[in-house]
Amino acid sequence: MPTALLPRFGVTWNATDPHHITANYRLDDAEIELHYTLEDDARVRSVVFDRWGDPDGSGTWEHHPFGFEVSRYSTFDGVTIPSAGRAGWFYGTDRWSEGEFFRSEITDFHLVTEAR
C-alpha cells in the first residue's frame, strides 16, 4: 500500500540522484530498505529490496535481492498506474532470469471514491 510509505509511519526517504531514491523503515525487528529506480518523468521503473527466503531450495534461509520491474503504465479513469511488470529473486544480478517467477498485467481498473 503506497500510503504505508509516508513519513508519518516512520519512513525516511533519501535521493542519491534524480533517478534513485531509497525508503528506509522498521517493520517489527526488521530494517527494510527499498531502492527505487525512476524514469526521467519520475515514474517508478523498478523497486528492489533484500527479501528473506530460500530461492535455491537449499534449506538455508537468508536475505537475497528481490525486485519488481515495471514494463508498462496505463491510464484508467484518469489515473495512471503501473499496469504490467515482473518480479523475482536475484534482481540486478546475473541470476535474474532464473529468479523471475511472477508476471502481472492489469487490464482494467476502477477507482473507488466512496465508502461502501
Residues near 2 by beta carbon (within 8 Å), at least 6 away in sequence: none
Instruction: State the distance between the two ends of the chain, measured CA to CA, in whole angstroms.
Output: 19
C-alpha to C-alpha distance for 4 and 2, rounded to whole angstroms: 5
pLDDT tens sequence across 21-40: 999 999 888 899 999 999 99
pLDDT tens sequence across 28-75: 888 999 999 999 999 999 999 999 999 999 999 999 999 999 999 999
Q: Classify residue 47 by burial, with Cβ atoms within 10 Å: 0-12, 13-18, 19+.
A: buried
Amino acid code (one letter) for 59 = G
pLDDT of residue 1: 58
C-alpha to C-alpha distance for 68 and 93, rounded to whole angstroms: 13
Task: Tell me how long the chain is.
Answer: 116
pTM, full prediction: 0.85
